[in-house]
Structure 1
Amino acid sequence: MSSPFGASIADVYAAKPNPDRDHRVGRAAEYPHYMWFITASFIGLLALCRLISFICSKLFGGRSSHNVHTDPEKDHRDISRKLRVRKLPQALVNLFRIIAFRLTLTIGSFTINITEIVVCALYVAALFTILLINDTNAEGVQFDISYWSNRAGALLASQLTLITALGTKNNVISFLTGIGYEKLNIVHRMLARSLFVLLCVHASGRIAAKVGEDVHETWFHTGVMAGLSFSILFFISMRPVRGKAYELFFYTHMALALIILGGAYYHTNEFVDGLTGTATYSHYIWPCFLIWGLDQLIRAIRLIAFNHSYFGFGSGSGTLDASTELISPHLVRVTLRRPAHFHWAPGQFAYLITPTVSLLPFEGHPFTIASYDSKMNAKEITSTSGSSSSKAYWKELVFLVNVRDGFTKRLSHVAAQKGTIKVFVDGPYGQRNDLSGYDNVVLIAGGTGVTYTLPMLLDIVEGARAGKRNCKRVVFVWAVRDARHFQWVLDAINSAVKLAPHGFQLEIRLFVTGSSTTEWDTVSTDSSKLESPGASSSLSGENTPNVKSPMEISGLQLLLGRPAIGKIVVEEAEEARGGSMCVAVCGSQSIASCVREALRFPTAGPASIMRGGASITLLVESFGYA
């Protein structure tokens, strides 16, 4: 029996010495170790960087960088003239941010930054360098395809552990590096496509060597099964298919992945990893089941811990009944009481599992948590803001769901009847963003991207109210197509304005991009609640007449047309000179690209920083399938 890796266990002892086979088998066994050494070293480097960043944030992150300015104009002139060498480390940090995260490559609707390009390129380069080196056989013939085939199979088997870890929601890589699994998804997809190429090389080598009697062997059948499953998964995972038929991808992905791992395990278990005759390549495969099973166990424990009342345990039975509301034909609001011990940070998301709406009982769908995990009591919120309807955004779990096909379409039918559904909550997931150390913050959202920026606004306001935030100025920018969409969260925005402490600068800029005329009476379901003594509102836009608005929220501006995002960001960067600024954006790729471009050179460049410009951090969440 021949072997796709070089030799079976029986062949190692029974076959005559074969220098060519020994080289192939030895290198196929040895080279995956090199790949894992490179990968582990890179992950260790990221973990070390995270540790250093954590230490620095504890030592220096709590200090406000703003000084008291008696004459702001004079200070700005002084700062702009002086080149401060002590600002060099900060300038280099900002230069790295620009190059690594704000320089991007856009292909259609897909955008990838330089860091992602470099990481993917380095991995692919390392993988295929290890695949193609030392391919001269014992007779001196170069580019022996049998060397490539054997080694491709071994590398493919060895990397299945990594691809499985990157595909789980609770994985050790995210734990060590602090990078959420959703951010690592691009590496997961790149790795999968690279392994598909290895599969093609491995299969081509076996075909070139002629299959012969191997076609009757179990290892051959299981290998073909795994290979065909991988091929099907490769094509249904392509961006156009995944975007148009996501539920098809969702259901088939797990099924095919299990078939691939099962087939790969039995396929590799027959063959020796090296010449010791003891280990088989299956030792790369079985940890995949352990990783997947551990992830499912952690999720199950979290589900039970956070959703115990769903099962009728304890006095809180029934608290996971979620109310649904069809705000517009394309938007559903889901609200439920916060489960005990469930805490989240602004910008995080959770999976909603709705057995009565989903096709499968434990099918989960991710949505950003639009509300804030407030420490304030409900009476304080209501008495200060004068609005009880906004309380949900401070004390409960609120999700805004875009209606498309499949699950969201079925959910909209329930919401049209204002139905109540049972919900499991799995989460929270995503990066925990701490904006407490920034002097100025700019929050930019398009459409339902407000679910990302609104909790950040509420967090900053509550922190400033409690004296736990350095932030002195927040600009909240939200663009929608129809003014009626403001009713999604307008009560919560109004409450944030009223809860803001004295001396805290809060500007709300709402843009309507879909029409030139607007009936503002349709903006709020109860405009009588939106009032603030002595407040002023304005509606202005380039070449558009002023339109009277019934809303009177202090610091609120209503404008027609698309926001000049780049101009807003640059102006706020100038306002934050001498301090630190964070810009958080969630919306379409065009909005994210506009912000990235505005925060490159010269606004956040080294020269600007060394002359007193603000040190700027950018957080981006974008719409669309990855």
Structure 2
Amino acid sequence: MNVRRYPLLLWSPTGTEIIASVGYTGLVVGLTMWSSSVDGNMRYLQPMGHAAFAQLPLVIGLAARNSVLSAVTGVSIHALKGLHRTAGRVCVITATVHSVGWLIKGFKPTWMFVTGLVAWIPLLLLFISFAPIRRAAYEVFIAFHILMIVATLVGCWLHAPSMYFKAWIIAGLGLWGLDRFVSLARVAINTVSNGKPEVEVLSSEAVRVTVPSRLKWKAGQHGYLRTATQTHPFTFASPTEAVFLIRAHAGFTRRLLTSTPKIGLDGPYGTPPDLNAYATTLLITGGTGVSYGLAQLASIITAARNHTSSAAQVRLVWNVRSASQIEWIAPLLNDALARGSAYVSVAVDVYVTRSHLSDEPGDRTETPGPSPPETPGNVTPRDGASTPVPGITPPPAALLNKSALISCATFGSVSIYSQACSTSLSLPKFTEVDLEKGEIEITSVASSCSGNTTLAGDLDNLDKCSVNFDRHPPFGSLAGRDIFGLSPAAALVTTLHRGRGDAETLLRADLASSDGGVAVAVCGPMSLDRDVRQAVLAVNRVSNALDDQPPVSFFSETFGM
């Protein structure tokens, strides 16, 4: 089976990280116990203390963004975070065995006992850094983590009986100092001094941040937005422009909705895969994880125009809460397709996952939208405009001029929300539009407005009635539609669906049309990551390989710490 996860060493909560953690813990504890045998007697208390000190450079060095080990091996720093947590656990275990063993022998108010407790107690508190805590209160977690590690290092330095032990502390501090120096140098060199970051509020829960920068990065890498006191990692949403899509949670990200702090950019970080080596790429994303997919999509299209890509087709799948959030990515998608997609067939499938949308009546599109037989070539979006999809009744031409207020939904219907009626009018068909009188004659009304059949009012008050695309989005192909800020070229390849995209169905559809290797890349919540992994395992069985199915490679970038 050719199933790969990227990064290889990161798996949470189960998988390779657990295997590596158990293996490393067993190796360190086993070797320590083996070395503790003296004249047939087990004297393990001192060796366990030695082992705890020996973990300090790993604990500190592997937590650094500019990791020496990452630079030497090419392994992502996110993969090394798993080893950082493993070394931390081993440090806690060995230090606890050492400390508890001496306390059992009897506490003595001596220098070694007191300084040992000063080092051990903060270390125990560091152990309480479970993933739910890290995600729920990231900024509090970071501040607490730093405070406890400083207290631990001070206690270890005072407790160390010789320079042999202090050398481990010095090595860890040296790696930390190198990381700080490189990070600050990157911020100073790569961030344009005369440019200011642009923060665009997309909704009550999301912003788009653009930072002027001299940085060069690869699609799939991430950078750290740095303020005077905080740093936060975000994935580049474009391979050429430092743009970040950020969902507001709390603290720094929530403050971006109301203010524009002075921001520096540190990076790039990460070692993303080169998806241009595959004939077919399936990018499955959720929420702001679409940043990863957008950058990879744009990179593949650019490489295809430069004849440096093996890609024949690429599909971006985005699971999102509401259809209107397409506006978040529209500028980036428009830019990616502004000059066409060369010989690469492009498809963008947006799945609206909010429950009341998924349950609405209508034709449910459970299969992925097909890629256009010929995506626009090296032309401008205006030249690549397509004709409307057959079977969809467009609204009257006069209403198209008022598309910001009233627009036709898929299957030729529209919902208008009237403040006067305090309800919604379901309009399956328009029969007459008289903009001079400000009247819209309709054939039927589903409302509590006493059976009125005319929505009347002057044009100045027409803005009281507007379409709510979150509740009645135009499911189906968006080709030929001026909607959500999409250019004609971007709308041509975009299809809107109800519900969550089924990863296995999507993958089987792309495998059936692929003439070579298939890459599946996922970025989003852990639940989405697990679903896609299971889909790859279900499709990429040995029997499938024997039937000459193209090989499938699996890459993953996950949310969280």
Alignment partners' CA distance in 1, 2:525 and 2:205: 17
Structure 2 residue aligned with 1:154, among 35, 50, 58? 50
Query: 1:175 Cα deviation (Å)?
Result: 1.4
- Aligned residue for 2:64? 168
Matching of residue 593 in structure 1 with residue 486 in structure 2 = no
Letter of the aligned partner of 1:225 in structure 2?
A: V
Q: How does 1:35-54 map to 2 (within 5 A)?
A: none
Q: Which sections of structure 1, spanning at least 5 residues, go unmatched?
A: 1-90, 105-109, 272-278, 311-317, 355-360, 374-395, 415-419, 519-528
Matching of residue 287 in structure 1 with residue 154 in structure 2 = no
3-state SS of 2:79 partner? coil
Q: 1:546 to 1:489 in 2, by over 3 A?
A: closer
Query: 1:283 Cα deviation (Å)?
Result: 2.2
- Aligned residue for 1:274? none
Q: 1:230 to 1:531 in 2, by over 3 A?
A: farther
Structure 2 residue aligned with 1:247, among 129, 132, 139? 139
Matching of residue 574 in structure 1 with residue 419 in structure 2 = no
Letter of the aligned partner of 1:262 in structure 2?
A: V
Structure 1 or 2: more helix by fraction: 1
Structure 2 residue aligned with 1:410, among 255, 262, 267? 255
- Aligned residue for 1:216? 110
Query: 1:330 Cα deviation (Å)?
Result: 0.8
- Aligned residue for 1:334? 209
Letter of the aligned partner of 1:346 in structure 2?
A: A
Alignment partners' CA distance in 2, 1:264 and 1:584: 43
Query: 1:498 Cα deviation (Å)?
Result: 4.5
Letter of the aligned partner of 1:131 in structure 2?
A: T
Q: 1:611 to 1:195 in 2, by over 3 A?
A: same
Q: 1:364 to 1:545 in 2, by over 3 A?
A: closer
Alignment partners' CA distance in 1, 2:303 and 2:321: 31
Alignment partners' CA distance in 2, 1:546 and 1:153: 63
Q: How does 1:337-356 map to 2 (within 5 A)?
A: 337=212, 339-340=213-214, 342-354=215-227
Q: 1:546 to 1:334 in 2, by over 3 A?
A: closer
Query: 1:99 Cα deviation (Å)?
Result: 13
Letter of the aligned partner of 1:127 in structure 2?
A: V
Alignment partners' CA distance in 2, 1:404 and 1:100: 26
Alignment partners' CA distance in 1, 2:200 and 2:6: 43
Matching of residue 615 in structure 1 with residue 460 in structure 2 = no
Alignment partners' CA distance in 1, 2:300 and 2:512: 21
Map Cα deviations across residues 159-184 of structure 1 (whole Å, 9 max, x no partner): 11111111111112111221121222
3-state SS of 1:608 partner? helix
3-state SS of 1:344 partner? coil
Q: 1:126 to 1:530 in 2, by over 3 A?
A: farther
3-state SS of 1:111 partner? coil
Q: 1:187 to 1:576 in 2, by over 3 A?
A: same
- Aligned residue for 1:131? 32
Q: 1:225 to 1:171 in 2, by over 3 A?
A: same
Query: 1:421 Cα deviation (Å)?
Result: 3.8
Alignment partners' CA distance in 1, 2:384 and 2:181: 50
Q: How does 1:313-328 map to 2 (within 5 A)?
A: 318-319=194-195, 321-328=196-203
Letter of the aligned partner of 1:163 in structure 2?
A: V
Structure 1 residue aligned with 2:14, among 101, 109, 112? 112
Q: 1:267 to 1:464 in 2, by over 3 A?
A: same
Give the TM-score of the pair, scaled to structure 2. 0.74
Query: 1:576 Cα deviation (Å)?
Result: 2.0
Q: Which sections of structure 2, spanning at least 5 residues, go unmatched?
A: 362-380, 393-409, 412-472, 483-487
Q: 1:174 to 1:209 in 2, by over 3 A?
A: same
- Aligned residue for 2:298? 458
- Aligned residue for 1:303? 187
Does the CA-based 8 Å contact 1:322-1:334 persist in structure 2? yes
Query: 1:211 Cα deviation (Å)?
Result: 3.7
Letter of the aligned partner of 2:14 in structure 1?
A: I
- Aligned residue for 1:201? 97
Query: 1:100 Cα deviation (Å)?
Result: 11
Query: 1:336 Cα deviation (Å)?
Result: 2.4
Does the CA-based 8 Å contact 1:586-1:621 persist in structure 2? yes
Alignment partners' CA distance in 1, 2:189 and 2:9: 39
Alignment partners' CA distance in 1, 2:89 and 2:10: 24
Alignment partners' CA distance in 2, 1:425 and 1:501: 30
Matching of residue 431 in structure 1 with residue 271 in structure 2 = yes
Does the CA-based 8 Å contact 2:7-2:78 persist in structure 1? no
3-state SS of 1:370 partner? coil
- Aligned residue for 1:509? 349
3-state SS of 2:556 partner? strand
Give the TM-score of the pair, scaled to structure 1. 0.67
Q: 1:260 to 1:182 in 2, by over 3 A?
A: same
3-state SS of 2:528 partner? helix
Q: 1:326 to 1:100 in 2, by over 3 A?
A: closer
Alignment partners' CA distance in 2, 1:301 and 1:103: 28
Does the CA-based 8 Å contact 1:400-1:448 persist in structure 2? yes
Alignment partners' CA distance in 2, 1:201 and 1:288: 22
Q: Which runs of 4+ in 1 moved over 4 A?
A: 98-104, 134-138, 529-532, 535-540, 544-549
Letter of the aligned partner of 1:370 in structure 2?
A: A
Q: 1:136 to 1:534 in 2, by over 3 A?
A: closer
Query: 1:548 Cα deviation (Å)?
Result: 8.5
